[in-house]
Amino acid sequence: MSNRIRHFMGCVALALSCIMIGSAMTMTLNPVAEAENTTVVHTSPFTAAILEVRDSVVGVSNYQEVTYGNYGNGFGSFYFGFGYGYGRDRGQQEPETKEELASTGSGVVIGDGFVLTNYHVVEDADSLKVTVTDDAGETEEFAASLVAYDENLDAAIIYAPDCKLPAVKLGDSDKLLVGDWAICIGNPLGFAKTTTVGVISALGRGIESEAFDKYGRKETITNAMIQTDAAINSGNSGGGMFSVTGELMGIPTLKYSGSYYTGSSVEGIGMCIPVNAVKPLIESVLSGEIKAIAPEKDKAEEANTNDLTGKPRLGVSIANVNSSSRAAMLGQIPDGVFITEVEKDSPAEQAGLLPGDIIVDVDDTVITDASQLKAEIGKHQAGDVLKVKVYRAEGLLEHSANADAPDGEYVDTEVTLAVIDTPEAEETSGGFLFDQP
Yes or no: say if 408 and 396 are a contact pair by the CB < 8 Å rule: yes
Yes or no: say if 243 and 180 are a contact pair by the CB < 8 Å rule: yes
Quick one: which of 370, 384, 374, 373 has its CA closest to 418? 384
The verdict on whether 384 is a catalytic residue reads no
> How is domain 44-299 classified at the architecture level of CATH?
Beta Barrel (2.40)
Pairing of strands 365-366, 337-342: unpaired
CB atoms within 10 A of CB 378: 16
Say how far apart CA 196 and CA 171 lie, in whole Å: 19
Residue 286 CA: distances (Å) to CA of 89, 129, 135, 291, 297 = 56, 20, 29, 9, 19
Those residues whose C-beta lies under 8 Å from the C-beta of residue 138, and which sit 6 or more positions away, are none
What is the structure's pLDDT at 330? 81
DSSP assignment of 191-209: -TTEEEEEEEEEEEEEEEE
pLDDT in tens, the chain (437 residues): 555 656 556 555 555 555 554 444 444 445 555 555 655 555 788 999 999 999 999 999 999 988 766 544 443 333 332 223 333 444 455 667 788 898 899 999 999 999 999 999 998 899 999 999 988 888 999 999 999 988 888 999 999 999 999 999 999 999 999 999 999 999 998 899 999 999 999 998 888 776 667 777 777 778 889 999 999 988 899 999 999 999 999 999 988 776 555 566 778 899 999 999 999 999 999 998 888 888 865 443 333 333 333 467 788 888 888 777 788 788 888 888 888 889 888 899 999 999 989 999 998 888 888 888 888 887 888 888 999 999 998 878 777 777 778 888 899 999 988 877 655 434 343 344 555 43
Those residues whose C-beta lies under 8 Å from the C-beta of residue 35, and which sit 6 or more positions away, are none
Those residues whose C-beta lies under 8 Å from the C-beta of residue 339, and which sit 6 or more positions away, are 316, 317, 318, 348, 353, 354, 355, 356, 357, 358, 359, 390
What is the structure's pLDDT at 177? 96
Yes or no: say if 101 and 61 are a contact pair by the CB < 8 Å rule: yes
Say how far apart CA 198 and CA 184 lie, in whole Å: 8
Quick one: which of 127, 19, 150, 20 has its CA closest to 66? 127
Among the options 120, 346, 369, 399, which is catalytic?
A: 120
What is the structure's pLDDT at 423? 52
The verdict on whether 120 is a catalytic residue reads yes
What is the structure's pLDDT at 407? 83
What is the structure's pLDDT at 137? 84
Those residues whose C-beta lies under 8 Å from the C-beta of residue 343, and which sit 6 or more positions away, are 315, 316, 317, 349, 420, 423
Degrees to nearest 5, angle at CA 139 with 134 and 145: 110
Among the options 201, 237, 317, 346, which is catalytic?
A: 237
Say how far apart CA 392 and CA 406 lie, in whole Å: 10
Quick one: which of 42, 53, 59, 274 has its CA closest to 183? 53
Residue 183 CA: distances (Å) to CA of 214, 243, 249, 382 = 32, 6, 9, 56
Residue 125 CA: distances (Å) to CA of 45, 146, 235 = 39, 9, 16
Among the options 154, 335, 357, 361, which is catalytic?
A: 154
> What CATH number is given for 312-435 in this structure?
2.30.42.10
CB burial of residue 355 (10 Å; 0-12, 13-18, 19+)? middle
For residue 208, list its beta bridge partners.
222
For residue 116, list its beta bridge partners.
108, 157
Pairing of strands 247-255, 358-362: unpaired
Quick one: which of 312, 360, 313, 316 has its CA closest to 342? 316
The verdict on whether 237 is a catalytic residue reads yes
What is the structure's pLDDT at 89? 41
Those residues whose C-beta lies under 8 Å from the C-beta of residue 13, and which sit 6 or more positions away, are none
What is the structure's pLDDT at 147? 92
CB atoms within 10 A of CB 181: 17
Count the residues in the chain: 437
| Number of helical H runs and strand E runs in the chain | 7, 23
